[in-house]
Structure 1
Amino acid sequence: MNFLDKLAVPFQKAMKQSIASFIRLETSDGETTIAAADGSLVSYVKVEGSRQIIGEEEYKHIVDSSTIKIGARFDRQGHAMQVYFCRDPDRIRKELERHVQPSRTTAENIGLEID
């Protein structure tokens, strides 16, 4: 970010410009990597689901373990990591219904009642 960009940011925030005006991403550099205007690269990884129900203790353990294991890789200047975690118990019903729908359709087609 050049000097003028840095100088303009507080004014842009104060004038409530859209978030798009702050984005400096320019092009894709592969399936999971994006190149920014300053030459830096952003890689993203999406991990979905869990094999068990994650409670507060388990969540804290996962975060602490990840911080220790992954944090050591980011001890050099020029590397950063951002994590987004979403926990939505209400969404699971929709997901399960989506996965079961083909079986429901087959059952209906052969005359079985499964509800």
Structure 2
Amino acid sequence: MKARTRWDAVCTVEDLVPESGIAVWTSDGPVAVFYLPHRLPALFAISHTDPFSGANVLARGITGDLKGEPVVASPLYKQHFSLRTGICLEDDSVRVKTYPVLLDGNQIRLEISETRQESIAA
């Protein structure tokens, strides 16, 4: 059974900072949205939580490109996370969640899984 999703508006184009990330709150928790205008696609979204420290800091990391891969370096321990896949380049057993991003007029929308309780018939 496929999980249901919805497209939540999380910020506007005016909120974005080129070559950088911003933190937004979603029903799925804190998410880092990155705007890299020199790339296609130009928008990326990953979990804001650094899996090595547990701190919500990834939107404050430095963006870059490692061998063609768009990345953000965690501001705490400097691990690089792929903005496309969420995989840590220094330890591929660690990854952060990624989110599909949609530009809808001036709204930035993220595809978020809907959590719903299933009722069990007795």
TM-score range normalised by the length of the shorter chain: under 0.3
**Normalising by structure 1, what TM-score?**
0.25
Of Structure 1 and Structure 2, which has the larger fraction of its residues in strand? 2
Larger gyration radius, structure 1 or structure 2: 1
Highest relative contact order (Cα 8 Å, sep 6+), 1 or 2? 2
**Normalising by structure 2, what TM-score?**
0.24
